[in-house]
């Protein structure tokens, strides 16, 4: 599927539905408010008279006087119409599906024309919908720390406190991190830990929270990301990797090992760090590998950037998928 084209289609459909609903609401008002129809007719007549005055009048002074009179009259009629609409709970911005970009799908940011979050969020959901572990419905209230053991066992878990206490701290850290994006003062994060400890689920909660806030998010599995940008030369995806306010790369280390992958990952890390330093854009990376595993799997240039620019957040406990069953 061409996710970009499909996102364009869906956005256009949402815009049409919004406009149709607004038109239907206006028609209902016209049917119940003769005053509104009268005002709209007077606005049309006054506007037409203003055009005729500008074109047909030969006396310059008389033309200017008439234009001023008609312009004032047009403003008064428009103000009366706006007041009537607001009295009935109708506001101009309601005709837009996205008031931010006014349904163009684009905004001006940092001196550049960029896709608006209304498009990016649709595109992201389509992209993430292809990934079986992605849950677009979950939120922070669904993350249950009571699924983690409440016993202290440093030999088993490698920490001084219980997994439950550790995960309660981690959970609050992630909520605070999500709430502050974009923020140059918040360090990027790497989630590490074996499978089944909730890394992907918590990433989903973070992504969903930000999407609901209108923040642009891209959540993508590492194998899918490298397959698209390294092997399929997906330039649109590459551009999204460099423009979203939060990038989540899940399952790093499960992708195919190629020299091109190293080059692409290095470029992503460097450009995301530049965006973080300048605009507060954030990156979260999730991996089943521990630091030693990352060091053996990636070269020194990549690991130096990961360990230097990211907070290492360790997930501990037992496989919560087995506990739920």
CA distance 283 to 141: 22
Beta-carbon count within 10 A of 24 CB: 10
Please write the tens of the pLDDT for every residue from 304-324.
Answer: 999 999 999 999 988 776 655
* Band of pLDDT at residue 252, cut at 50, 70 and 90: very high
CA distance 249 to 221: 6
The answer, yes or no, to whether residue 114 has pLDDT greater than 90, is no
Stretch 290-315: mean pLDDT: 90
CA distances from 314 to 129, 155, 197, 262 (A): 27, 15, 10, 24
Strands 246-250 and 217-221: parallel
Nearest by Cα to 273 from 261, 284, 283, 286: 283
The answer, yes or no, to whether residue 48 has pLDDT greater than 80, is yes
For helices 199-212 and 117-129, what crossing angle results, to 10°? Answer: 150
CA distance 320 to 325: 9
* Contact between 200 and 250 (Cβ < 8 Å): yes
Alpha helices in 134-290 (DSSP H): 154-157, 163-180, 199-212, 222-226, 235-241, 259-279
What integer best gives the mean pLDDT of the chain? 84
CA distance 63 to 246: 57
Residue 270: its pLDDT value, please? 94
Residue 280: its pLDDT value, please? 93
Strand partners, 287: 192
- Identify the residue with better confidence: 287 or 61: 287
The answer, yes or no, to whether residue 94 has pLDDT greater than 70, is no
Residue 187 DSSP class: P
Please write the tens of the pLDDT for every residue from 258-268.
Answer: 777 888 999 99
Q: Is the dihedral of CA 98, 101, 106, 111 positive or negative?
A: negative
CA distance 220 to 128: 6
Characterize 133-156 residue by residue with b for buried, 16 or more Cβ atoms within 10 angstroms of its Cβ, and e for exposed. ebbeebeeeebebebbbeeeeeee
CA distance 234 to 46: 53
Characterize 222-236 residue by residue with b for buried, 16 or more Cβ atoms within 10 angstroms of its Cβ, and e for exposed. bbbbbebbbeeebeb
Please write the tens of the pLDDT for every residue from 133-178.
Answer: 556 778 899 888 888 999 998 888 888 899 999 999 999 999 999 9
> Phi and psi for 146 in degrees, rounded to 5?
-75, -5
Residue 161: its pLDDT value, please? 92
* Band of pLDDT at residue 57, cut at 50, 70 and 90: low
The answer, yes or no, to whether residue 132 has pLDDT greater than 50, is no
Segment among 35-39, 144-148, 241-245 with least mean pLDDT? 35-39
Residue 321: its pLDDT value, please? 64
The answer, yes or no, to whether residue 63 has pLDDT greater than 70, is no
The answer, yes or no, to whether residue 73 has pLDDT greater than 90, is no
- Identify the residue with better confidence: 205 or 211: 205
Q: What angle do CA 88, 92, 98 make, to 5 degrees?
A: 125
The answer, yes or no, to whether residue 110 has pLDDT greater than 50, is yes
Beta-carbon count within 10 A of 105 CB: 19
CA distances from 182 to 169, 185, 267, 275, 286 (A): 22, 9, 21, 10, 19
The answer, yes or no, to whether residue 251 has pLDDT greater than 50, is yes
- Identify the residue with better confidence: 31 or 228: 228
């Amino acid at each position: 599927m061409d996710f970009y084209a499909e996102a364009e289609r869906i956005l256009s459909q949402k815009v049409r539905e919004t406009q149709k609903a607004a038109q239907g609401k206006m028609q209902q008002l016209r049917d119940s408010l003769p005053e509104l129809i009268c005002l709209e007719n007077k606005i049309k007549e006054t506007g037409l008279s203003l055009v005729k005055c500008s074109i047909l009048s030969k006396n310059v002074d008389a033309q200017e006087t008439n234009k001023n009179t008609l312009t004032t009259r047009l403003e008064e009629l428009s103000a009366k119409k706006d007041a009537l609409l607001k009295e009935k709970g109708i506001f101009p911005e309601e005709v837009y599906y996205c008031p931010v970009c006014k349904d163009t799908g684009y905004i001006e940011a940092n001196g550049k024309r960029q896709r608006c979050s209304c498009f990016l969020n649709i595109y992201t959901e389509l992209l993430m919908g292809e990934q079986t572990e992605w849950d677009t419905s979950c939120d922070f209230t669904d993350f249950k720390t009571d699924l983690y053991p409440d016993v202290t066992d440093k030999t088993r878990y490698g920490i001084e406190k219980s997994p439950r206490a550790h995960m309660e701290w981690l959970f609050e850290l992630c909520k605070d991190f999500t709430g502050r994006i974009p923020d140059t003062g918040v360090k990027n994060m790497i989630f590490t830990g074996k499978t089944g400890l909730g890394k992907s689920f918590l990433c989903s909660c973070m992504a969903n929270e930000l999407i609901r806030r209108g923040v642009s998010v891209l959540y993508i599995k590492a194998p899918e990301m490298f397959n698209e940008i390294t092997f399929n030369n997906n330039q649109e995806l590459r551009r999204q990797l460099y423009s979203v306010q939060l990038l989540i790369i899940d399952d790093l280390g499960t992708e195919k090992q190629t020299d091109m992958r190293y080059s692409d990952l290095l470029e992503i890390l460097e450009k995301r760090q530049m965006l973080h330093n300048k605009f507060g854009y954030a990156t979260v990376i999730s991996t089943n590998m521990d630091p030693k595993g990352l060091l053996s799997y990636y070269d020194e240039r990549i690991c130096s950037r990961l360990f230097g620019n990211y907070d290492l957040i360790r997930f501990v406990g037992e496989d919560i998928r087995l506990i739920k069953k």
